[in-house]
A and B are shown apart, each in its own frame.
Chain A
Amino acid sequence: QVQLQESGPGLVKPSETLSLSCSISGVSIRSYYWSWIRQPPGKGLEWIGYISYSGSPDYDPSLKSRVTISVDTSKNQFSLKVDSVTAADTAVYYCARHGPGSAIDHWGQGTHVTVSS
């Protein structure tokens, strides 16, 4: 069965770079599209962006200047980097799977990231 697992530091200092990975099991990263979504405390879901292994990533315009999503096919995982973080980047970060032009059908369990000195 398909499983997604986020990993990375739970605490990041302001102005530094947040780095998360999503390990995929049960399916090849070469299939499907792969997204990052976040949820600030007590708030709704925010789409960050997505990537396919063969295509260019697509980002939310509000984050585009600070975000990089990349794929590592050798490890069957994909990654998220957010530069110059502030307290506003504190959130639960989810990785997720979807088909081209289709809904998210698998989510990781989410990982809490706090931005604080």
Chain B
Amino acid sequence: DIVLTQSPGTLSLSPGERATLSCRASQSVSSSYLAWYQQQPGQTPRLLMSDASRRATGIPDRFSGSGSGTDFTLTISRLEPEDFAVYYCQQFSSSPHAFGQGTKLEIK
């Protein structure tokens, strides 16, 4: 099974700063099969990125994704107040389609 490890567990930053979130896979994942989701407190997760770097509909361009193989990154160029949330990566290259454990992005 492919295990996804996200780091850091918690990231404390201020609005306007740049956030870099990591998702590392225990085995190679095709970039076509790596997604990022955002979950705000008390809300349903929403798709941010598919294919590792393709923004979902309505996602602002301050969000970008990159990576290949076993290392993937979600970058938020300039944090807005609504960006403070929990972020999850998921792979669907092979079963089970596990999620990473999440990175909590909190206001410093």
Contacts and interface: CB of A to CB of B under 8 A. Distances in A.
Interface of A: 35, 37, 44-47, 49-50, 58-61, 94, 98, 101-105, 107-110
Chain B: interface residue count, which band? 20 to 34
Contacts, number: 61
Contacts of A101: 32-33, 92
B99 A44 contact: yes
B99 A45 contact: yes
A51 B95 CA distance: 12
Interface in B23-63: 32-33, 35, 37, 39, 44-47, 49-51, 56
Contact of B101 (A44, A58, A102): A44
A108 B46 CA distance: 11
Given A44-B102, A104-B35, A107-B46, 17 more contacts: A35-B97, A44-B86, A44-B100, A44-B101, A45-B39, A46-B99, A61-B96, A103-B49, A103-B50, A103-B56, A104-B37, A104-B45, A104-B47, A104-B90, A105-B56, A109-B44, A110-B44
